[in-house]
Amino acid sequence: MSTIKLTADDGHTFSAYRAGSESATMGLVVVQEIFGVNSHMRFASDAFAEAGFAVVCPALFDRAEKDVELGYTQEDIQAGLALRAKITEEQVMQDIETAAASLGTASVGIIGYCWGGTIAWWGATRSRSFNAAVGWYGGGIAATKTETPDCPVQLHFGAEDHGIPLTDVDAIRAAQPGVEVYVYEGAGHGFGCEQRASFDQKSFDLAQNRSLDFLRKHLA
């Protein structure tokens, strides 16, 4: 577990959290929420490292501000949204592809949460760097639901997520019949974050196990 430096094709240098065995054959890019590579993202990365993956979690906000680690207050949310607005989708794609290449493993997957859940979907549809993609409560997926994935995709949503209505989830299902889509009853946005009031242990456990099984199936 360490912080490394990576350089994208456009010359931008950014930090990333690295975890897992150097001998791992399965690589995984873990993509942040709008709160930076904070303790929750390191916790999530460590869990996948312990499950046998080589993991890198790129600091996407480095393009706007270095070393961002936010919490989950309303003030933090507004700060995160402001930072996200300063970064283009093209820049995000450069950084996640750089992160994928840094792993040096035989196969690489991508998993993301919140903003990162949408980025994981883009990783499947706008890149050829990934062999599998998993998105947790990605609010921007519905807007790009007709894009064509280049790898297997699994998506997770909370039934009580007020930011992602179930009509959006239904629209994604209709547009992407080949994508695995799961909805968790009683779960809200951020149900997989142990630091949020919306954390739901039962839903998290089920979604985590499904994610691990899916990634192992397609990356092994």
Contact 49, 26 (CB under 8 A): no
Instruction: Indicate the number of domains in the chain.
Output: 1
- Cβ neighbours of residue 21 closer than 8 Å, sequence gap 6 or more: 49, 52, 54
- Cβ neighbours of residue 95 closer than 8 Å, sequence gap 6 or more: 6, 8, 12, 14, 58, 60, 63
In whole angstroms, what is the distance from residue 92 CA to residue 31 CA?
10
Model pLDDT, residue 73? 97
Two structure tokens written together for 28: 């995984």
Model pLDDT, residue 13? 98
Model pLDDT, residue 87? 98
Q: At what angle do helices 89-103 and 115-125 cross, to 10 degrees?
A: 70
pLDDT tens digits for range 186-196: 999 999 999 99
pLDDT tens digits for range 161-179: 999 999 999 999 999 999 9
Model pLDDT, residue 19? 98
User: How many residues are there in the chain?
Assistant: 220
Model pLDDT, residue 150? 98
pLDDT tens digits for range 15-57: 999 999 989 999 999 999 999 999 999 999 999 999 999 999 9
| Residue 154 φ/ψ, nearest 5 degrees | -130, 135
Model pLDDT, residue 97? 98
Structure confidence at residue 1 as a pLDDT band (50, 70, 90): confident
Model pLDDT, residue 22? 87
Whichever domain contains 155, its CATH number is 3.40.50.1820
pLDDT tens digits for range 55-112: 999 999 999 999 999 999 999 999 999 999 999 999 999 999 999 999 999 999 999 9
Q: Tell me the pTM.
A: 0.98
**Residue range of the domain that includes 49:** 2-219
